[in-house]
Copies of this chain bind each other. A is one copy, B any other.
Amino acid sequence: MSYMLINRMTAKPGKRDELIQTLLELSEAFDDNESCELYLVSRDKKDETAIWVQGIWKDIKSLQDARNSESMKVYVQKALPLLDGMHQQTEIEAAGGKHPFNLNE
């Protein structure tokens, strides 16, 4: 089953741009990973410290494999000091709608 996440992260004051840059560099590793259908990094328009990451993976194992790669670990270590507290990670499963994804049930 497709594995879908909505993440809301909060950056330390003044660190949002640097955190976004780190996440974008991290995401480059997914460009050639067919298991990653979506890794979209966005700024919250109201909260100047908040970042949202919307992710869709072929299955949970694909994400776990990506997280365990050495290149990912480097970026996670870069990102951690920029984060302010825990981030909210919400697991969801698609019900439908208009979308371009190949979601497997």
Contact = CB atoms under 8 A, between A and B. Distances in A.
Interface stretch (A24-32, A69-77, A79-87): A24-32
B38 A98 contact: yes
A41 to B, nearest CB: 4
Interface string A46-85: 1000011110000000000000000000000000000000
A8 to B, nearest CB: 8
Interface in A1-33: 4, 6, 20, 23-24, 27, 30-31
Contacts of A38: 97-100
Nearest to A20: B95
B4 A42 contact: yes
A29 B51 CA distance: 30
Contacts of A43: 92-93, 95
A98 B6 contact: no
